[in-house]
Amino acid sequence: MGRLPIANSPDLLVGAATGDDAAVWRIDDTRALVATVDFITPVVDDARTWGRIAATNSVSDVYAMGGTPVFALNIAGWARDTLPLELLGDAMAGIGDVATAAGFVIVGGHTIDDPEPKLGLAVIGFVDPARMLTNAGLRAGQVLILTKPLGIGVITTAIKQGRADEGAVAAAVEVMTTLNDVASRVAIARGATGATDVTGFGLLGHGGRMARESGVDLSFSMRTVPVLDAARRLLADGVFPGGGERNLASVVDSLDVDSSVSPEDVRLLADPQTSGGLLFAVDESSVDQVLRELASAAVVGRVGTATGTGRVRITW
């Protein structure tokens, strides 16, 4: 990205510099476009389920900005010599399931021949510029909320290794196919200004980036972080994705871990998520209402004082 010309239009409200989930481009005082693109390799065996996961994951970046998706374009890589085209059709049906549920339409796309299948969407939506949720929007003293359990990376790694049982797969699929639309609306309604979705860099990576961009420090309380049971069991059996190790290595310099927190727990916080939940922060007075409105959400930590430098502390 550093080799690209700098984008500095006055209408570019959110660009690449802050590592946000999507770009935001102003149309007028009350409307802006949100644009994002994301695609993934297969994480489950069933094509239609993979399509649902890919679409839920792609549109999540619009919700993470506080936006509403309007339309999307498919992006697909397909091994046409070795995989039946009907399977790609099944995957498309899965994308369609999500588009219908989320209220956006698929208006086109592009497929290339690719030995490793890939699937995703470029999604366009609208956001009110006065109410968007950015990486730089955390405020001192707020409470951090996470809307889905962690552990998806551990389970999808186990699937690839043939070590995940049916229950583990079902638990991960349930999480990966849950839209972040309601979470986004609740976050905005309850006064959040900072949010992201927890995806490839894990809770520590995405949380740390928000802390840096917001000029604050964060603390996570491991005791209250929701984690899929199957992921804990598989991690204990030695299953952990390589991407999680890379995530840990990239955050270790800005991390302070209390001695009461185990190395396994720190790994779970660095586990890369496919189609993970929203991480956002609200004032203490709004927490009870958020938890009532979002059954799967949990308080996972706090935003420190306004003089932070992006350090992340983990306590039990």
Which C-beta is closer to Co ion: that of 233 or that of 246?
246
265 forms part of the interface with Co ion (CB under 5 A): no
Smallest gap from Cβ 198 to Co ion, in A, equals 8
Contact indicator for 278, 207 with CB cutoff of 8 Å: no
271 forms part of the interface with Co ion (CB under 5 A): no
Q: Kindly state the number of chain residues that form the binding site for Co ion, as judged by CB under 5 A.
A: 5
Exactly one of 63, 158, 197, 300 binds Co ion (CB under 5 A); which one? 197
Strands 23-26 and 12-14: antiparallel
Taking CB under 5 A as the criterion, which residues in 20-49 touch Co ion? 21, 38
Smallest gap from Cβ 246 to Co ion, in A, equals 17
**Which of 14-22, 23-31, 248-256, 296-304 is the region at the interface with Co ion (rule: CB under 5 A)?**
14-22
213 forms part of the interface with Co ion (CB under 5 A): no
Closest of 301, 298, 220 to residue 254, by C-alpha: 220
Which C-beta is closer to Co ion: that of 106 or that of 210?
210
**Which of 16-24, 159-167, 239-247, 293-301 is the region at the interface with Co ion (rule: CB under 5 A)?**
16-24
Query: Torsion angle of alpha carbons 59, 65, 67, 71, nearest 10°?
Result: -30
**Which of 85-93, 190-198, 224-232, 234-242 is the region at the interface with Co ion (rule: CB under 5 A)?**
190-198
Q: What contacts 55, CB < 8 A, 6 or more positions away?
A: 72, 94, 95, 97, 98, 99, 121
Exactly one of 61, 181, 217, 265 binds Co ion (CB under 5 A); which one? 61
Contact indicator for 138, 214 with CB cutoff of 8 Å: yes
Phi and psi dihedrals of 261, rounded to 5?
-100, 125
User: Could you tell me how many residues make up the chain?
Assistant: 316
Handedness of CA 161, 167, 168, 170 (dihedral sign): positive
Smallest gap from Cβ 196 to Co ion, in A, equals 6
Site residues, Co ion (CB under 5 A)? 21, 38, 61, 197, 199
